[in-house]
Structure 1
Amino acid sequence: MTATLAELEQLCNEFQNLLCAKKIRKIRAHVAGISLETPDPRFWIWEQWENQVACFLSSEKPAAIPPTAFVMLLRKYLNGARIISIQILNQDRILEFKIEQGSQTYFLIAEMSGRYRNLILLNAQQRVLGSLRQDSSRQSPLRTGQPYGPPSPYQGKRTPLSQAFQRLELQGETSAWIQAHWEKTKTEKALNTLKNEIASGLEQQKNAVHRKIRTAELGLEESQSWPEWKKRAELLQGAWGKVKPGASQVKLPDYFDPELKEIEIELDPALDLQANLSRCFKQARRLKRRQAFLENELLKHWEKEATLQALLKDWQNCLLVSESLTPSEQLQAYQGFKEKHQTWFFKLPPPLAKAKSAQGRSLWRSFFSSKQTLIRVGKTDKGNEALLKQGKGNDIWLHTRNWPGAHVLISKPKDQSLDSEDLLDGAALALFYSSQPEESPAEISWTELKYLRRIKASKAGEVLISKQNTLIYRIQPERLKRLKNPD
């Protein structure tokens, strides 16, 4: 609540009676503005909050903060100085404090008119020594060493003195009324801001949860088609010799139908039959995993929705209870509610990710067998190539036969024989990280690394095998679970 000119005139009279001829003991900065302390002790406080400004006298010492550059400037020139006079400039909302420090004279200007809300320190020649804030929008910009030019005088109709001010006759009552009204205005504004912040925050959380539930439901509906993809893949296993290169579809008897009706299966013309078969199995596995994931996510979202509904109910109860409280008590109640449930309103910034160079990234996955033997699985073609270079000649290499997949390397010391459990663990990983369907038995080629040769001018990871063994392996979920989630 910025005071009107009539109110400021009455306030100026009070300042003259209580501050003139008094020394300035201390100058402090606080959150909303600046205060000057006189020996009484009495504090002249200048506060700016949002688009409003107020000044008043108070017997209560405001909480100080580390001094700003302008406060340090005021301390340099005005500490121990004496206030000589206080007046209003240009019949506008501008207070001029004339202050003497020994033989030197200074002027402290408190502008409270319109958008020009500022404190300015001038020397005896009315030149600017410094200001609380720089404002380039005024007609006479404030520059250090330049003459001070006050804002253009107000030309409109003066607001009459309110009846509340007319009743204030005793010294100190004007400042007390201003301070009380100022604190009330700030409290009500802070109350409305906090109330809207909590309400909008809960509304945003509710909308976000509803969006996540809807997205998860749509994804779950799509992922439930995984049995159809698996069925297509299994039917394509009997389509050898029936699919021409570049075909976009094929008609096959449905062996899952007692009547063996023909169904049409869409194909990718750019892929051969084996690649289309692999694609269908891969899509079925992907959708099956996604279904399990989305079901779990949906449960989490439903739990969050229920918690949020209870929180909204608590907020409504808080609003009802606070109706009988004073604005200050309401503000405390809302702040307590927000602090209690702050995780719903604040998001911690994500930790700064440490940059990793290409050399620092792992090119393979590491596992340990039941015998605590290290088993490495390449992530990409470059990872497969890196495994071939990092491995030793006695290490055991595994790969799915006639199917694309990752290279698997079992570490084996030179004088130690291969453990059968280590071999089965390696075969499980070779099948899992390949394109071959997990539902059918797989042929796993394995040999010592020294029997592999790189093919010149070929893709990374392609090798020739001079001596190999073959293992028929069917996936064992318990073994795979133990490898991926060791105790």
Structure 2
Amino acid sequence: MTYDAYLIARMAHELAPLLVRARLQKIQQIDVHTLLFSIYHPDSGERALIVSADPAHPRIYLKPRGFQETVGESPSGRLLRFRKWLQGGRIVALASEPGERILTFTIEHKNEFHDLQTRKLIVELMGRHTNAILVDASGIILESLRTVTQEMTRYREIVPSRPYTPPPPQQKMLAHTLTEETWQALGEKPGLAELIREQSDNCAPHDPTIDREAERSTQKDVHAEADLQVAREAYATWIKQHFSGIGTPLAAEIAYRTSLKKDPPFTTLKQTLSAVLQGKEKAQIVQSGDKITFAALELTHLDGDKLTFPTVHEALLYFYEHIAEERLQQNRIRTLAQPVQARLKKLEEKITMFKHMEAERPLIDTYRSYGTALLAYAHAVLSGETEVMLDDPFGDGKTLTIPLDPDLSPVENANLYFKRAQKLSTSLQKAAEQLKAAEQEKAYLESIQAHLAYADAQALEEIKLELAQAGILKKGRLEIRDATKKKRSSAHKDKKYPNIERFRSYRGSLIYVGKNNLQNDYVSLRLGKKGDLWFHVKHHPGAHVLLRTEPGQRPDEKEIAEAATLAVYFSKARNSSQVPVDMTDVKNVYKPNGAPPGFVLYRGEQTLFVTVDEAMIEALLSRRLKGHEQ
């Protein structure tokens, strides 16, 4: 999502009453580029302000009370500095820079000597260059979410102890302060707006009650509609080129409204922008296929599924908590799935090669037969021959045609064949071992693929760490390696365990579901106790499921069916019917030495055949427990 200056100005207008006078109670770090400010306002209570300079997902929005967010386990040096200069402070002002994509929070904070000091948190919402910069009262940079050095840009440095320099000015006019005289002085360019109005005369009148496609199909001249669209696009481009802070959706909407001829072009431009700034327009999210457009006004020029909100900050909350989070999750999954798929492709090539090598195994016996025959009938072989026919010493009257090296004696030729047989035997033995290892690794990676299909954010983070530990994620992923080290040290220090998702059976029994290999190991080997029932889909990667049983109580058929259904639902066989699910007492499950994560063996199983029942799975999902088993 991209911000323009008018959306940011509208956001500042809306957020000021909610944030000014609020105290920064706590500052936490969600990730390396994202801060969470827990704030308390005397009128509206507790909220969370999210500020992120993530190049792939820059954002700023306000979350309501009762918010939940995963934060880092140990504070970074950057976070400690933000806390030192901001935590406990009070927001006294919030403003946007006219025509710029910048929000400035003015914060009063007492230092260790209880002297009141003023800081400014400047949030530059500029796509992949987004940053949050903390400066003191004299404009000296104290800290920032992203450091920018001279090697990265010649225009300005963003490093501590340097004076803050704003982004380069756009050298454009502010459209909402434009006078009609200035508009006319722009010359013939505003004629584009008049061209739109002329082109619209050739098209059928706009009727908002008629479906857009149906409306176009009734127009007299398709070419006139095409010409009108070209004129709109040209006018929208001109608006962006000449006026500061107007983004593509806003410019396109102004051009479209101009073509409706309700008001003169200048009036349409001014009224639309004023309505946005004053909060008279409703914010809107439009989704058409994979494309999502967000704006601080209703986008009447676009077709698609539309969600309308009374305020920009409500629209932002919905966008980031639902649409963007879902897309971000899919991007994370793709990021992890790509190296897994690449490794699987290499493994499949190796497996094919090893299987082709296995086809040469009969040659071992052939070479040994040649060598034995040459030794047995050495007296019958003449020197210098390139081929000889001898009786097979292991066959019933079978004759062997044996190629010879004419420069070698019969005994030397025999030894050559014995060496070939031994070399091939050794090679095939190693190939068989490598084939077994490759097939095991393939099964392991296929299990990760299956888990990625239904992983939530927590499970995905654990899969990422698992892949890093397995060496699948290596080069260019320092943050993953660092996270892995932290995870290992944290595991030794705090003895934390994977978060396991829990469900209730219809009778109230606990059902645990592992959503990745680390969780599966914990469910199968650590969490269960004697008498608990363990489930897993046969011959398919998927979740290990544990049905908790109380002493003296045996699960009934429906509870067993529910646990087996969850095993199928969280597996690669989700959409199949009559899926075999193995069930056994958890005490019968064990892990072989050296086995990869998620790989177990079991005995004493009973096989059930399960087809996912939609009503049953919906009931189970509705009984999903909040929080996780630690």
For Structure 1 versus Structure 2, the TM-score category normalised by the shorter chain is 0.5 to 0.7
Aligned partners of 1:206 and 1:224: how far apart in 2?
Answer: 30
- What's the CA shift for 1:14? 2.1
- Residue of structure 2 in register with 1:477 after alignment: none
Code of the aligned partner of 1:239: A
2:35 aligned partner: 34
Q: Contact conserved, 1:213 with 1:302, CA < 8 A, in 2?
A: yes
Cα distance change, pair 188–21 in 1 and its aligned pair in 2 (3 A) = closer
- Deviations 1:37-75 (CA, angstroms, capped at 9, x unpaired): 333323222124452311122232644323222222222
State how far apart, in whole Å, the 1-side matches of 2:414 and 2:104 are.
Answer: 88
| CA distance in structure 2 between the partners assigned to 1:299 and 1:113 by the alignment | 52
Q: What's the counterpart of residue 276 of structure 1?
A: 413
How many angstroms apart in 2 are the aligned matches of 1:264 and 1:214? Answer: 30
C-alpha displacement of 1:181 = 0.4
Confirm or deny that 1:239 pairs with 2:378.
Answer: yes
Q: Is the 8 A contact 2:309 2:315 kept in 1?
A: no
1:470 corresponding residue in structure 2: none
- TM-score, L = length of structure 2: 0.43
Matches within 5 A, 1:374-385: none
The equivalent of 1:355 in structure 2 is none
Residue 381 of structure 2 contacts residue 410 of structure 2 at CA under 8 Å; is this kept in 1? no
Task: Establish whether residue 131 from structure 1 lines up as the match of residue 136 from structure 2.
Answer: no
Change (3 A) 1:206 1:115: closer
Give how far 1:198 is off.
8.1
Number of equivalent positions:
327
Q: Aligned partners of 2:470, 2:396: CA distance in 1, in Å? A: 59
Match of 2:361 among 208, 223, 227: 223
- Alpha-carbon RMSD across the aligned residues, in angstroms, is 4.6
Alignment partners' CA distance in 1, 2:70 and 2:432: 54
Secondary structure of 1:64's counterpart equals: coil
Identity of aligned pairs, percent?
18
Instruction: Give the Å deviation of 1:178.
Output: 0.7
Residues 331/287 of structure 1: CA separation in 2 closer, same or farther (3 Å cut)? closer
Q: Give the Cα separation in 1 of the matches to 2:164 and 2:335.
A: 42
- Report the alpha carbon displacement of residue 115 of structure 1 after superposing the two structures with TM: 3.0
Q: Is residue 88 of structure 2 the alignment partner of residue 80 of structure 1?
A: yes
Can you list the C-alpha shifts for 1:5-45, whole angstroms capped at 9, x where unaligned? 22111111122212223333322222361123333323222
One-letter amino acid of the counterpart of residue 219, structure 1: M
Change (3 A) 1:123 1:291: closer
- 2:171 is aligned with 1:144: no
CA distance in 1, matches of 2:50, 2:324: 15
1:52 aligns with 2:57: yes
DSSP 3-state at the match of 1:25: strand
Contact 1:24 1:78 in 2 (8 A): yes
* CA displacement, residues 103-140 of structure 1 (integer Å, 9 cap, x when unaligned): 43222111111332111111221121222221233411
For residues 263-314 of structure 1, give each alpha carbon's deviation from its aligned partner in whole angstroms, at most 9, with x where no partner exists: 5632284x66544322212323444566688789889989999x89x989x9
**1:188-231 Cα distance to aligned partner (Å, 9 max, x none):** 32343366468767865774565345323421333322333223
Letter in 2 for 1:74: F
Distance 1:72 1:166, change over 3 A: same
Give the match for residue 6 of structure 1.
6
Distance 1:166 1:251 in 2: 90
DSSP-derived class of the 1:226 partner: helix
Alignment of 1:242-281 (within 5 A): 249-256=385-392, 263=401, 265-267=403-405, 269=407, 273-281=410-418
**Aligned counterpart, 1:97:** 105
| Aligned positions of 1:370-409 closer than 5 A | none
Structure 1 Cα separation of the partners of residues 413 and 168 of structure 2: 81
- Do the aligned partners of 2:39 and 2:47 also contact (CA within 8 Å) in 1? yes
Counterpart of 2:145 in structure 1: which amino acid?
L
Q: Which of these residues, 64, 68, 71, is aligned with residue 64 of structure 1?
A: 71
Show the counterpart of 1:403: none
After TM superposition, list the pairs within 5 Å mapping 1:213-362 onto structure 2.
213-237=351-375, 238-239=377-378, 249-256=385-392, 263=401, 265-267=403-405, 269=407, 273-287=410-424, 332=456, 348-349=470-471
Name the amino acid aligned to 2:52. E
Structure 1 pair 346–25 and aligned structure 2 pair: CA distance change class (3 A): closer
8 A contact 2:142–2:160 mirrored in 1: yes
Q: Deviations over 1:237-273 (max 9, x none)?
A: 23359665xx5x544442349999895632284x665
Q: Which residue number in structure 2 is paired with residue 193 of structure 1? A: 331
- Kindly indicate whether the alpha-carbon contact (under 8 Å) linking 2:367 and 2:417 is maintained by their aligned counterparts in 1: yes
SS of aligned partner of 2:23: coil
Query: Residue 169 of structure 2 aligns with which residue?
Result: 153
Larger Rg: 1
Paired amino acid for 2:75: P
> Which position in structure 2 is the counterpart of 1:414?
none
Asked if 1 retains the 8 angstrom alpha-carbon contact of 2:148 and 2:158, the reply is: yes
* Superposed counterparts of 1:458-477, under 5 Å: none
2:320 aligns to what SS in structure 1? helix
Does the 8 Å CA contact 1:191/1:331 hold for their aligned counterparts? no
**1:195–1:73 Cα change, 3 Å:** closer
How many angstroms apart in 2 are the aligned matches of 1:260 and 1:337? 63
Q: Secondary structure at the match of 1:145?
A: coil
**In structure 1, the residue corresponding to 2:360 is in which secondary structure?**
helix
Letter in 2 for 1:24: L
Inter-CA distance 151–348: structure 2 relative to 1 (3 Å threshold): same
Output the CA distance in 1 between the equivalents of 2:84 and 2:440. Answer: 61
Residue aligned with 2:378, SS: coil
Q: Which residue in 2 is equivalent to 1:175?
A: 313
3-state SS in 1 of match to 2:17: helix
Judged with a 3 Å threshold, the aligned counterparts in structure 2 of structure 1 residues 163 and 295 are, in CA distance, closer, same or farther, namely: closer
Contact 1:25–1:38, Cα closer than 8 Å, also in 2 = yes
Conserved? CA contact 2:34–2:145, under 8 Å: no
Question: What SS is found at the alignment partner of 2:365?
Answer: helix
Gaps of 5+ in 1: 320-329, 351-487
Name the counterpart of 1:118.
Answer: 131
Q: Secondary structure at the match of 1:85?
A: strand
Q: Distance in 2 between matches of 1:81 and 1:302?
A: 58
Q: What are the Cα deviations for residues 386-412 of structure 1, in whole angstroms up to 9, with x where unaligned? A: xxxxxxxxxxxxxxxxxxxxxxxxxxx
**Would the alpha carbon gap of residues 194 and 85 (structure 1) be closer, same or farther in structure 2, given more than 3 Å must change?**
closer
The 8 Å contact of residues 84 and 99 in structure 1, kept in 2 or not, is answered as yes
Residues 370 and 400 in structure 2, CA contact (< 8 A), matched pair in contact too: no
Matches of 1:179 and 1:220, distance apart in 2: 59
